[in-house]
Amino acid sequence: QVQLVESGGGFMQPGGSLRLSCTASETIYSSEPMSWYRQAPGKERVFVARIRSGRDPEHAEAVRGRFDISRDKAKKTVYLQMNSQKPEETAVYYCNVRREGVNDWGRGTLVTVSS
């Protein structure tokens, strides 16, 4: 089981930008998808973005054009650049990797968007 550690969360005002990072404890092959999900208070966890080799990065419709997922294989890290954030995007953001049909999750990092 790979360990995933998210970082970069914090407080920000609406319209601001933040970059989240997720570092894995071991090498993740480019073919293995790495994703970001988020869970707002009182709501279910939902998909945000995914990256894997051979395909264009995927972003949920709600964040398309404002969020950008990227990956540094050498650093075993996936990033989520978040721009123009909205108060309703306050949530715990989770990193995920899927390997051989098994999902591994980080513990999440809290992002609070408020004026």
pLDDT band at 88 (very low <50, low <70, confident <90, very high): very high
Question: Got the DSSP string for 47-115?
Answer: EEEEE-TTS--EE-TTTBTTEEEEEETTTTEEEEEE-S--GGG-EEEEEEEEETTEEEE---EEEEE--
In this predicted model, what pLDDT tens digit does every residue of 23-34 receive, in sequence order?
Answer: 999 988 888 999
Evaluate whether 112 touches 10 at the Cβ level (below 8 Å): yes
User: Within the chain, what is the greatest distance between any pair of CA atoms?
Assistant: 42
Task: Report pLDDT for 47.
Answer: 98
Phi then psi for residue 87, to 5 deg, are -55, -35
